[in-house]
Structures are given as C-alpha cells and as structure tokens.
Amino acid sequence: MQRVLFNFLLAMEAVLANRMRALLTGLGILFGVAAVIAMLAIGSGAKQSILERMKLIGANSIVIKAVVLDPESEQEGNAQSSSGGNAGGGQKEGGKRPWSPGLTLADLEAIQNTLPQVERVSPEIVLPSSIIEAGKLEKGRCIGVTNDFFYLNNITLSQGNFFHPEHLRAGRAACIIGKNIQTRFFPNDNPLGQKIKAGQTWLTVVGVLEKRNASQESLKNLGIRDYNDDIYIPVATALLRYKNRAVISKEDIGRGRSESGSPVDNYHQLDRVVVQVGDSRYLRAVADVTARILKRRHRDVLDFEIEVPELLLEEQKKTQETFNFVLAAIAGISLLVGGIGIMNIMLASVMERIKEIGVRRSLGAQRSDIIQQFLFEAITISLIGGLLGILIGVVSAQVITSSFNIPALVSGWSILLSFGVAASVGLAFGIFPARKAAIQDPIKALRTE
C-alpha cells in the first residue's frame, strides 16, 4: 500500500505540474460526460411526462368523442381509430345524410354486451353552467359522470365520499367539486354538506377531489379538461335535472334544415366516453370493433371519433427512445474522442519523461510502479474532466428546462454512471501508454537527452 500511495503521489505531482495540459486533455471527457448527463436527463424527463399523461388518461383506455356534424355538409367527419385511418365517410340517402341518434347510453350498453374484454365504461356529459354560492357568481361546468370516471382517471378524494348508488339511480341533487371550486367558493369553510347552485339546480356537496397537478400542455395534448375546475354530478342527475339531449322535441324535428351559417345544436346525449379494456393486447382490436358497432347504430353516420391515447403515447415513447439513442451515440463519440486524446497526451508524456522513467527504474522502481504512476495520471485527468462534465451537464439540464420548456430530470444514477464511465475511460485509454512507459530499457532511458 505504501508503494501504491507513493506512486499515486508522484502521479498527482505530475498532473499539478501540468495543470493546463491536464485540463485541455480532459475536455473531451468533460463534454462527453456533460452530454451523457443532459441526454439521460431529457430521456428521464420525457419518460416522466409520459407516465404523468398515462395517469391522466388511465391504463388501457379507449376514448370516444361525440362530433356534432353540420347536416348541410357534403361529407361528414370521420371515425378515427388507433391506427390513424378513417373508418369511412358519412353516407347520404337521396342527397341527405341519414338521421343519427348521436352518442347515447344505449351505445355503451351495446359495447359492454358485445365485447367481453371491456371492463368499465365511463360516460361524460358536459354542461356549461353558471355557479353561484354565497353571492359569488362564476362561469363553470357541470360534468355528468359515474364513479367509474374517478377510477379510470386515477382521481382520489381529499374529503367526503364518492357517489352513493342511490345518487346514481335516482338522480339526486348531489355533487363532487374540484379543488379549485372549493378554493373559490369555500375558502374558509368545510364544503361537505353545503349547497352550491349550478344552473337552476341546488346541489349538495358530498366530496372534494384531491388536487391534480398537470401541465396545460399535457391536458391540451390529451384533449382533457382540468379536473380541478369542474363540478361533478351523477349522469342520471344531468339527464333528469338538466337536459337530456336524446329526447326529441318538436324543435329537434327540424334539425338539419336550419339556415346556412347558423350554429348546429349538439344532439348527442353523451359528449365523451372512456372505455377500459382488461388486456392491453386487445386495445386496437376493441377500438376497431367499437367503431363498427357505433357506425351501425348511428346508421353509417360517423359523428364520433375514437382514439387510443395509450397507443399514441407508446408511439411518442418509441420516438423519444430513438432520440435518446442518437444522443447516446453523440455522447459516446465524445467520450471516445476524449479517451483517444488522453492516450495521445499520455504517449507524448512518456516520450518526454523517458529519462525520468530510467532514473526511477535504476533506483529500484519496478515495472508495476511505472504502470501505476501513469495509470493514476490518466485516471485523474479523466476524473477531473468527468467531475466538471457532471457539473456542466446538470446546469445544462436546468437551462434546457427553463429556456426551451423541455422536461429534463437529472437522477442520481445518471451521475454515478457518468462518473464510472469517466473513470473507465481513463483506465482503458491509459493502459497502453503506461505499459509503453514500463517496458522502457533503463540503460537506454538514462542515455536519452
């Protein structure tokens, strides 16, 4: 151990005597390690972002969205499956599109009864409403849902309970409010058991959602709302106490014969449906069969869209992995160049210090001592570059996040990996110069000027 320590101290003296050369030699390692840190940070951030989006939409989910078609148009919409293709265009009989009942609860029953792979379905009815409580008036939304909505979207409660079966069956005037609703209307009070008016109906608060943190970009990309801003009521309550768009009135009979340019009324009973499949292997197949079921029930009118967010996110994940691979290749090339630089400088150092090597050998140093000295020098230079590279890599990740709005998450294992790679490069590329120094003939070395 004393010999090893002595050889290490000699190596440190040589490095300190040539600080600038050591720093310039380690630049390749520095930039390579910095690239590795930044690359892994971007990859981890992207993966974390995808996992957060998966939590927002739930696992193995198929999303069906109602599309309000203009009855005067020549071709109407499309039903998009997970493959990204069109299921076909709207057909017309005698120049007029067939009448469609829209997306209804009956469609959900047909899907559940036809497809055994479907575990849960969650209908949603979006009702813009004015919200009033204690003299405060704001515009907001009431969302008609079942308890499956909260399960599929991984939403938990901070207070109270989910809807009781009696609420769901009888259409009771009960509601669960988002966290932002509680903050605005019940800032200092416990909202449970209190009433809040949405539209023309007074609702009793039975639960408060846990705060759901999600970026607006993620919400926009997935086409979902901010769960914190809404009031949730049972589907039966939305249909009985607000409006059931599936009920046909005299005004609905004239649907499709409105003046050109006038707004088209939403004739769908449901605005959105989330279908959960038990096994992810059947996601694409269930989406295709669901599109066929709805197309048949809607008389070939494609007034709906079907998306499989999980498959879309998987495509994003594959793209991100390819991007990470390219970054890894660039970082690897940088480390390779840095290692070659260390080897070249160490070979030059051997040629400069042949006489020093001869003196050490004549004084009793063994070949192993010479190898240790030059290996310690190479590893030290590599580690100096690695430490500086880690610092620059962490700073670069923070700059990328703040300046370009790209998620970058630096993890401890990526720092340890980079440090280990830096040490390994110094060891691998320092062996050849160290062996070349050790095999020098002491007599010829002492004669070298």
The per-residue DSSP string of 95-129 comes to TBPPP---S-HHHHHHHHHH-TTEEEEEEEEEEEE
Q: Are strands 61-66 and 201-209 parallel, antiparallel or unpaired?
A: unpaired
Rounded to whole angstroms, the Cα distance separating 412 from 40 reads 11
Is the C-alpha dihedral spanning 24, 28, 33, 38 positive or negative? Answer: positive
Q: What is the pLDDT of residues 101-148, one digit of tens each?
A: 889 999 999 999 999 999 989 999 999 999 988 788 889 899 999 999
What b/e string do you get for 387-403 counting C-beta neighbours within 10 Å, with b at 16 or more?
Answer: bbbbebbbebbeebbee
Report how far residue 309's alpha carbon sits from residue 264's, in angstroms, rounded to the nearest whole number. 28
Share of the chain above pLDDT 90, in %: 25
pLDDT in tens, 177-202: 999 999 999 988 899 999 999 999 99
User: Mind giving me the DSSP string for 227-281?
Assistant: GGG-EEEEHHHIIIII--TTS--HHHHTTT-SPTTSPPP---S-SEEEEEESSGG
User: What is the token pair recorded at 234?
Assistant: 């049972």
Strand-pair partners of 132: 137, 197
Query: Considering only CA atoms, which of 151, 150, 145 is closest in space to residue 126?
Result: 145
* Separation CA 209–CA 216 (nearest Å): 18
Q: Once rounded to an integer, what is the mean pLDDT over residues 40-51?
A: 72
pLDDT surpasses 50 at 89: no
Q: Is the dihedral of CA 310, 314, 315, 316 positive or negative?
A: positive
pLDDT at 351: 75
Which residue in this structure is represented by tokens 């150092």?
349
Indicate the angle between helix axes 309-352 and 367-404, nearest 10 degrees. 140
Q: How many helices (H) and strands (E) does the chain have?
A: 16, 10
Burial 130-140 (b: 16+ CB within 10 A, else e): ebbbeeeeeeb
Q: Which of 224, 230, 177 is nearest to 56 (CA)?
A: 224
Helix axes 412-438, 27-57, angle to 10 degrees: 160
Angle (CA) 305 295 292, round 5°: 90
**Per-residue DSSP letter, 84:** S
| pLDDT-based confidence at residue 252 (cuts at 50, 70, 90) | low
Q: For 225-259, b where at least 16 C-beta lie within 10 A, e where not — what string?
A: eebbebbbbbbbbbbebbeebbeeeeeeeeeeeee
Domain ranges of the chain: 2-53+315-447, 58-310
Structure tokens belonging to residue 102: 């829209």
Q: What is the mean pLDDT of the chain?
A: 80
Instruction: Assess whether pLDDT exceeds 80 at residue 168.
Output: yes
Q: How many CB atoms lie within 10 A of CB 278?
A: 13
Q: Are 391 and 415 contacting, i.e. CB atoms less than 8 angstroms apart?
A: no
Q: Per the structure block, which two tokens stand in for 304? A: 């709906």
CB burial of residue 268 (10 Å; 0-12, 13-18, 19+)? buried
pLDDT in tens, 382-434: 888 888 888 998 898 888 878 777 777 787 877 887 778 778 887 888 888 88
Confidence of residue 214 (pLDDT cuts 50, 70, 90): low
CA 148/CA 277 separation, integer angstroms? 13
Spatial CB neighbours of 85, under 8 Å, sequence gap ≥ 6: none
Residue 75 is predicted with a pLDDT of: 43
